[in-house]
Amino acid sequence: MATTNNLVSLESLHPTEYQYRWIRLHITDDYLIKTLSNPRTRAARTYPIERFPCLIYTTDYNGSNESIQVWLKEEEVRVENCSDYINMKYDAKQMQDCWVCKWIPIDPLWLVDLSEEIDETTINKPDFYRLHGDREVCYGDGGEDFLVYPVWIQERLPISRTRRQRLLDFFHELNNQRKDFHEHPSPVEDIIDPDLLVSPPKTSFNRNQWIANELKRKLIISSREGRQFQRDIKEDGYTDLSEHEKLRSTYQWLPTDFTIDENGRVDIVSPIHQLPLLPQNRQTYGDIARIFHAMIPMFKQLKVIRDDIPNVKQRLQVIIKVQSYNLQAGLNRIQNEMIELSYFFFRCLRDEICWPMAYRRSNRKYSCCWCLLFAYR
CA angle 79, 85, 91 (to 5 degrees): 50
Say how many CA atoms lie within 13 Å of 129 toward its Cβ: 19
- Predicted confidence at residue 352, as pLDDT, reads 40
Give the pLDDT confidence score for residue 237 in this predicted structure. Answer: 81
Q: How confident is the model at residue 201 (pLDDT cuts 50, 70, 90)?
A: low
- Residue 231 backbone dihedrals phi, psi, to 5 degrees: -65, -40
At 228, is the secondary structure helix, strand, or coil?
A: helix
Q: How confident is the model at residue 1 (pLDDT cuts 50, 70, 90)?
A: low
Element (H, E) at 31: helix 30-37
Q: Which amino acid is at 374?
A: F
**pLDDT in the model for residue 138:** 77
pLDDT of residue 359: 33
Give dist(CA 94, CA 152) in Å, integer.
20
Sign of CA dihedral 250, 251, 254, 259: negative
Specify the DSSP class assigned to residue 106.
Answer: P
Least confident piece of the model among 122-126, 265-269, 309-313, 317-321: 309-313
Report pLDDT for 365. Answer: 37
Nearest to 146 by CA among 194, 209, 75: 75
Helix, strand, coil percentages (3-state) for the chain, rounded to 5, are 30, 30, 40
Q: Is the pLDDT of residue 9 over 90?
A: yes
> Across the chain, what does the average pLDDT equal?
79
Q: What's the mean pLDDT in 220-245? A: 80
Q: Are 292 and 272 contacting, i.e. CB atoms less than 8 angstroms apart?
A: no
The residue with greater pLDDT, 168 or 343, is: 168
Cα–Cα distance measured from residue 57 to residue 72, given in angstroms and rounded to the nearest whole number: 7
Residues 113-160 have pLDDT tens digits of: 999 999 999 999 888 899 889 888 777 777 777 788 788 888 778 888
Q: Using a cut of 0.85, tell me whether the model's pTM lies above it.
A: no
- CA 329-333-337 angle, to 5 degrees, is 70
Contacts of residue 80, defined as CB under 8 A and 6 or more positions apart, other chains included, come to 303
Higher pLDDT, 358 or 100: 100
* pLDDT at residue 43 in the model: 66
pLDDT (0 to 100) of residue 319 = 84
Q: Note the pLDDT tens digit of each residue in 263-299.
A: 889 999 999 988 999 999 999 999 999 988 988 888 8
Please, what is the Cα angle at 71 between 67 and 72, to 5 degrees? 105
Give CA–CA dist 343/75, Å, rounded: 27
